[in-house]
Amino acid sequence: MLIKKVKILEFAPTADEIWQIKKHKKDGYTDYNTQNGLVSLLDTTHEAKQRPQIKAVYAGGKATNVARVIDRLLPDNIQAEIELVTFLPPPKATMRNLNFGNSGIVPSTPAGIYTQCLQIENLTKIKPHFEVVDELTETSDMQTTRRCIEIVLEDAGTSLNFSPRMIWSIESAKAVLSRLASFIHEADMIIIAGAPPIWESSDNLLTPHNFYAKILSLIREDCQVSIDVRGYYLHDCLIAKKPPRFIFMNKDEFFEANDTWKELGGKALNCTLIVHNKEGCWVWDKKMPDGNNIFNGSIFFPAPKIEKVYSTIGAGDAMHAGFLREWIYSQGEADQIKRSVVYSQAVSAISVSNELATYGIDTKAVDDMINSMGMEIDHGKQAFSRR
């Protein structure tokens, strides 16, 4: 099936509270608006070399990170229509919609203008799509579980990277699913990355753990889904009637999901699993791992050799984006999975080894990295070959 419409679903907040993050003399960057007081957000210099050339602020979550990288790599003649869909609460005051570049924004507060502009800044080929859902009432309840929003300090050359998760109500979750049902059938591909919001549920009918599986139940039979999420949000997706077409996870997350692999027992599924770490990636196509012999049946792709690593933060998002860019762009070509894996490894390697991080990712940098891997790409025939 030709992929013509792609929707990237962002459930991390463009929350207006993000705008209120301040730098404290002792605690560094912190969020003072969480329910229980202070939450410290550590900078990445404990594991990262300085990237002095970067000066930027990012907003959004993993799905937005994936969208940014895909956008930088898309050719001008791309035929697919790609949207980044973000769910927003209704405005707290009467505010007119604004244009930012070629994109409309739908602020819920004056501070939200700033956050939304940060999220969609530099998107040139992917179209932002904001869905205002009345049940998504703004709350100061947030939970910081990982680092996904990047703020880089020009004077120090250091960065911090974090992602707050919004705390929904069960009514919010149902309303978002209902809204998704109204337009998700249009998509030929759905992209999901990162953990869902969290909420308290009185039963097991709709929980954060089965939220993504519920989304899969809404899509067309021929729609492809690519998902990057921890195993406890993945389990119900894999046993659903319609499993994801692509699954991305790092090696630690792969081991976390070992009970799921044992349950599946090497079951044949129309699904490709890609597990990655600094050594390379393991790929299972059309058959899931056997939890008793966990790497059996996989194909291993060694990682590109790079001399200097600044930070591995965002490498998984870059790999996910690189794979999807090549998968969409090389539709109908031979060895489509192989070429998409090789392309994704090149993109990921650039993200960790370039002083500009994801800003340093472009098609020339990817081609150069692929050549350094002993591969080459013929853009005319859209073919990879080993030199």
pLDDT band at 117 (very low <50, low <70, confident <90, very high): low
Which residues is 167 bridged to in the sheet? 198
Handedness of CA 289, 294, 296, 298 (dihedral sign): positive
Distance CA(211)–CA(99), nearest Å, equals 32
The total of other beta-carbon atoms located within 10 Å of residue 96's CB is 7
pLDDT band at 212 (very low <50, low <70, confident <90, very high): very high
- Tokens 């930088």 sit at which residue? 72
pLDDT tens, 35-58? 443 333 333 333 444 444 433 444
pLDDT over 60 (residue 329):
yes
pLDDT tens, 118-171? 667 778 899 988 888 888 765 545 444 433 445 555 555 445 555 556 678 889
Q: Residue 26: exposed, middle, or buried by beta-carbon count in 10 A (0-12, 13-18, 19+)?
A: exposed
pLDDT tens, 236-252? 998 878 899 999 999 98
3 state DSSP class of 48: coil
3 state DSSP class of 250: strand
pLDDT band at 75 (very low <50, low <70, confident <90, very high): confident
Which residues is 98 bridged to in the sheet? 105
Predicted confidence at residue 191, as pLDDT, reads 98
Distance CA(281)–CA(334), nearest Å, equals 20
Q: Residue 240: exposed, middle, or buried by beta-carbon count in 10 A (0-12, 13-18, 19+)?
A: middle
Predicted confidence at residue 267, as pLDDT, reads 86
pLDDT over 50 (residue 33):
no
Share of the chain above pLDDT 70, in %: 68
Length of the chain: 387
3 state DSSP class of 9: strand
Predicted confidence at residue 30, as pLDDT, reads 42
Predicted confidence at residue 290, as pLDDT, reads 86
CA distances from residue 94 to 90, 91, 260 in whole angstroms, order as listed: 10, 7, 48
pLDDT over 70 (residue 376):
no
pLDDT band at 341 (very low <50, low <70, confident <90, very high): very high
DSSP state for residue 57 in the 8-state scheme: B
Any idea which of 61-70, 87-96, 179-188 has the lowest mean pLDDT? Answer: 87-96
- Tokens 């591995």 sit at which residue? 312
Q: Domain residues of the chain, as ranges? A: 63-139+168-380
For the structural domain made of 63-139+168-380, what CATH number should be given?
3.40.1190.20
Mean pLDDT, the chain, whole residue set: 77
* CA neighbours closer than 13 Å in the CB half-sphere of residue 200: 2
